Amino acid sequence: MKISEILKNKATISFEVFPPKNKEGDISSIYYTIDELAKLKPDFISVTYGAGGSTKGKTVEIASKIKNDYHIEAVAHLTCISSTKEEVIDICQQLKENNIENILSLRGDYPKDPSFDKDHLEFQYAKDLNKLITETFPGDFCLSGACYPEVHQEAACFEDDLKALKEKVEAGAQYLITQIFFDNNYYYRLVKEARKRGINVPILAGIMPITNSKSLLHTAKMCGCSIPYQLSTMIESYYRYPSAMKEIGINYATHQIIDLITNGVDGIHIYTMNKPEIAQAIFKNIPTVLKELNHE
């Protein structure tokens, strides 16, 4: 089923996983993660594409397993910045052959290779990828896109970012998933201003439970998101205590999710970092709230 169809009837709960990175190319460890996440009955699980498409073959394999063996809807990430049209069409054909109907369409980060030529690319933006997929595979895929509550780092201002987001939706994105944020007010602002500009597709809130201080600082810098004073103070007080930091991360994400659900969020998308026990702990914290979304 296409995620856009699910979103017509309810807010969703979903997870993101990524192909394990190891020299041997063994991805078997991901199946324990999926086993555990499946017990939480998510509406879908998304699978990342890897930096520069480095794990793209594994993305198709894992998404296929989720869809065809676990019988959970799978969303395959697909980046385009360093791809050719032929490569994208080939990946989409593989997804179609594996009954995958959902794609998270992304531009992706520029490769760090200094020889990478930014001036001669077949795709400049995710909207270009959307256009190719919708023209080549009409009606076969439900496309989604990324959005940034605190403004994309390459955007000159919030208004320019919203303009680009609208173009992405007009090119075929049927729902959006936010980059991580730790202050829900940024999400509410994004939704409010998007609606004013005619961006009316569902906007799912991307939540990442941060369980250690180093990963929080790294993630915040990488994603361009701010750290609220309350969270910063807790980190400063407990960064030397791993157990306390884990508890803080789980509880902070829990409170974010409760607030979002209370205020009518379109969906919650949890970036699990392949740690199912974190998602399980959050679900254990809010069983009654999740019933509001028909997730017991």
Dist CA 167 CA 199 (whole Å)? 9
DSSP for 28-65?
Answer: THHHHHHHHHHTT--SEEEE---GGGTTHHHHHHHHHH
Neighbour-count burial for 45-74, b at 16+ CB within 10 Å, e otherwise: bbbbbbebbebbebbbbbbbbbbeeeebbb
Dist CA 260 CA 204 (whole Å)? 10
Cα–Cα distance list, 233 to 63, 228, 250 (Å): 39, 9, 16
Q: State the catalytic residue, choosing from 16, 73, 101, 150.
A: 16
Please, are residues 43 and 14 in contact by the beta-carbon 8 Å criterion? Answer: yes
Dist CA 5 CA 18 (whole Å)? 25
The verdict on whether 16 is a catalytic residue reads: yes
Phi, psi of 45, rounded to the nearest 5 degrees: -125, 130
Phi, psi of 201, rounded to the nearest 5 degrees: -75, 160
> What count of other Cβ atoms lies within 10 Å of the Cβ of residue 184?
19
Q: Which residues are catalytic?
A: 16
